[in-house]
Amino acid sequence: MRDIVYIEMLNKVMSNKYEAVRVMAKEARRINNVILHSEVKDVDAKPTSMALKRMLDRKIKFEYVEEETRELRDRDFDSKE
C-alpha cells in the first residue's frame, strides 16, 4: 500500500507548496542522473518518490539565488568557454 502525502505535510517543510514541488522536481532529476551514471541499475523506488521522501525527511538543502547573481554567474561561465 502506498503512503499518502498531504499538502499539510509539505507545508511543514516549506511554506510554499509550489516551491516545494519545484525543489523536489530538481532533486528527482539529480537522483535520476545519479542512477543513470551509476553501476546499480536496479532501484526499488522511483526518483520522484525518493525526492519526496528526502524532502519530508528534510534532507534536501537548497538556497535561493538572486536573479542578478545568476546573470553574473552565467556571464562568467560563458566567458570561460
Alpha carbon separation from 2 to 27, 43, 46, 74 (Å, rounded): 21, 17, 13, 41
Q: Is residue 51 part of a domain?
A: yes
Per-residue pLDDT tens over the stretch 28-41: 999 999 998 888 77
State pTM to two decimals.
0.69
Residue 50's CB is within 10 A of a number of other CB atoms, namely 19
Half-sphere exposure of residue 72: CA atoms within 13 angstroms, side-chain side:
5
Number of compact structural domains in the chain: 1
Q: Within a domain: residue 76?
A: yes
Q: Which domain range does residue 70 map to?
A: 7-80
pLDDT at 26 over 60: yes
Whether 22 maps to a domain, the answer reads yes
